[in-house]
Structure 1
Amino acid sequence: MSTPLRVSWLLLCAVTTVGRAQPPVPRVTELPSAASALLQAVHAVNAQVVWASGHKGTVVRSRDGGNSWERLETPAGDSLEFRDIHAVHADTAWILSAGSGSRSRIYRTTNGGATWRLQFRNADSAAFYDCLSFGSSSTGVAYGDASQQRTNILRTEDAGHTWQLLAPTAVPAPLPGEGAFAASGLCVVHGNANTVYIATGSPGSRLFRSRDAGRSWSVENTPFTRGGAAGLSGLSFASPQRGIAVAGDMNRLRTDSAHSVVGVTTDGGRTWSMRARPPRPGALAGVTWVPGADPGTAVAVGFGGAFYTRDEGRSWITITTDVTTGVSAVGRQVWIGGANGKLWRVDF
């Protein structure tokens, strides 16, 4: 028979164990916004400076951690969809407009959006550019859907003043109709300055990897869902080895219920451990590790809502049921962009 002292000690241990197993619930704040269109990509430079971009020529910026936002004038009025954005500080950023032929463009500002310089305009009517990423303030990579029976990867070493289309010998040969989903701006990401990853969507859910800052590439097959409009949609790498990826069926934006849509790798994408999908149907668009939180913490976004995990995707908790696509994290903070110009900050 247990003594009262032993019972009290066991209760104390149980309470302590439960307390350790259940970290505080993150604080979710819906932020004021200067936009009304879908904000498809978000990039947080630091805890204060955050940029976001999206449809109808939209680019917004916050310089106070998301408490206020300013709408920036962009080229071509509201005719372009800026589906990716990458910034290095409050003044300098690149935006990528996705679309067929000449609608795929890259612009850069060095004065906080007061003016933008056109750096790249796609001359291939069959190509469609999806995402870009910079490993430093000068070296970056952009990926476009395959065309003319070749894989389209651009690279710059001079901050985008010139972009070089890599030779077919430096890149994987494409699958028929291979391309990426310009869903969150996270189909091209860096693991560090030299390690770059590209997630392809349909038809094969393949992963391209470069270990020389984008000069040459190898390819890995993955176990993620695949199909005519299904495949990988977003990546996040905390290091060159440790990554998390999401996928979705873009023909079923609100109703996708495929199971092979979340996975974690610890060997740079050679192998993947598949995880549970979030609790609501909908294609997943993007994902990010939360670097300042517990190691297993990540946020995934998609057309069924936004979700967080504390255990590397084994379980998920809903943040919002609104459509969300852009996501970026710094420290313990995550910024999310979604439909109708909505923005959220999640503090872990």
Structure 2
Amino acid sequence: MRAMGKTRRLVARGLCAAAVTAALAAPPALAAQEKRPEPGWTLTPTGTDARFRGLAAVGRDTAWVAGSGGTVLRTLDGGRHWSDVSPPAAAGLELRDIEAFDRRRAVALAIGEGEASRVFRTEDGGATWTESFRNTDARAFYDCLTFFDSRHGLAMSDPVDGRFRILSTSDGGRSWRVLPDAGMPEALPGEAGFAASGQCLVSSGAKDVWLATGGAATARVLHSGDRGLTWTPAASGIPAGDPARGVFGLAFRDRAHGIAVGGDYRADQASPDAASVTGDGGRSWQRAATPPPAYRSGVAWLPHSTRSALAVGPTGTDLTRDGGRTWRTVDTGSYDTVDCAPDGGCWASGEKGRAARLK
């Protein structure tokens, strides 16, 4: 785009037509980018008023959402129709995260204290579900889950005995075990995760995973390069110091480049510095030069892009074209989470049954 701007300045200065023609012909890809329309959401009718904080984008046509009242919906036609495929045993529970491998296989997490935290799994598109984990420790409260591939995944709980607790599966969510906590650093006083968008625990590649925190004096991002056995913390740069503040969502496009979003989820509180970026796998974070204007709970990289991403929250959607350094609002609808599939299909979901597909 800088090349196109230079061309326009040359034209204004009255350079010869041949020079202008050559300059215009040189960067056709950049010209196409400059004319690219702004992204925006198209709401799709879900027929429910559930709040969907869990979202899994499988593709342009297929997506899953999970939310309040134990509700799980699935679309196979780009959102024209949503089918209720809720687990009967999850009725009344809060489903805050869902990971889907395809149109038939998905794993959903219910959050809450004690036995309210559960994991459900389906292999037949939601026709039947199996409860594969139920928390029996009253001190644990599970917030998020993530998968490295169709077999290996993790779930995280708020601190138990002073450390975040990690569950692990190696069979696609059929069974789970608590990992030893020797490699987990001690939690800060008041530190916890936010079950706001299914993005407080995210992975990239075969072994790298990141955990987002808030509520303490410092909002941190913890990184593990060995599937959750050992962790290294780093300050995120997003303000904390209150139970309502911290990092709410993470997204990594590879094992080095990531974005963190968050702020203060209370509507009457400002959220300055609500986004940070890393280029070294989370060892260090830099605050966005121009952050989103308000609290944001979810973030996703646009497919096949090294610089573009979307952040969503109750007051709108913001776009970055420079890897998270600067953001601008492109939609004012309310969404809690966002997810994109490799084929270019991006989805968002949130309160009052809202589910949308990116134009």
TM-score (norm 1): 0.90
- Post-superposition Cα deviations, 1:202-225, rounded to whole Å, max 9, x if no partner, equal 213111211122233222222221
Q: Distance in 2 between matches of 1:309 and 1:184?
A: 19
1:220 aligns with 2:253: no
**1:284: how far off?**
1.2
| Structural mapping, 1:173-184, within 5 Å | 173-184=186-197
**Unaligned stretches of 5+ residues in structure 1:** none
1:167 aligns with 2:180: yes
Q: Distance in 2 between matches of 1:20 and 1:139?
A: 38
For 2:260, the equivalent position in structure 1 comes to 245
For 2:247, the equivalent position in structure 1 comes to 232
Q: Distance in 2 between matches of 1:195 and 1:343?
A: 29
1:325 aligns with 2:336: yes
**1:4: how far off?**
9.9
Q: Distance in 1 between matches of 2:179 and 2:153?
A: 13
**1:189: how far off?**
0.7
For 1:346, the equivalent position in structure 2 comes to 358
1:299 aligns with 2:310: yes
SS, match of residue 129 in structure 1: strand
Q: Distance in 1 between matches of 2:215 and 2:12?
A: 64
1:154 aligns with 2:167: yes
SS, match of residue 64 in structure 2: strand
Q: Distance in 2 between matches of 1:10 and 1:271?
A: 45
CA contact (8 A) 1:155 1:215 kept: no
Q: 1:312 to 1:344 in 2, by over 3 A?
A: same
**Unaligned stretches of 5+ residues in structure 2:** 1-10
Q: 1:28 to 1:221 in 2, by over 3 A?
A: closer
Q: What is the aligned-residue RMSD (CA, Å)?
A: 2.5
1:335 aligns with 2:347: yes
Provide the aligned length of Structure 1 versus Structure 2. Answer: 341
Instruction: Please identify, of 29-38 and 314-323, the stretch whose mean Cα deviation from structure 2 is larger.
Output: 314-323
SS, match of residue 341 in structure 1: coil
Q: Distance in 2 between matches of 1:295 and 1:318?
A: 20
Q: Which amino acid aligns with 1:64?
A: D
For 2:7, the equivalent position in structure 1 comes to none
**1:27: how far off?**
4.8
CA contact (8 A) 2:292 2:318 kept: yes
Q: 1:6 to 1:248 in 2, by over 3 A?
A: same
SS, match of residue 102 in structure 1: helix
Identity of aligned residues (%): 37
Q: Distance in 1 between matches of 2:165 and 2:37?
A: 44
SS, match of residue 352 in structure 2: helix
1:277 aligns with 2:291: yes
CA contact (8 A) 2:236 2:276 kept: no
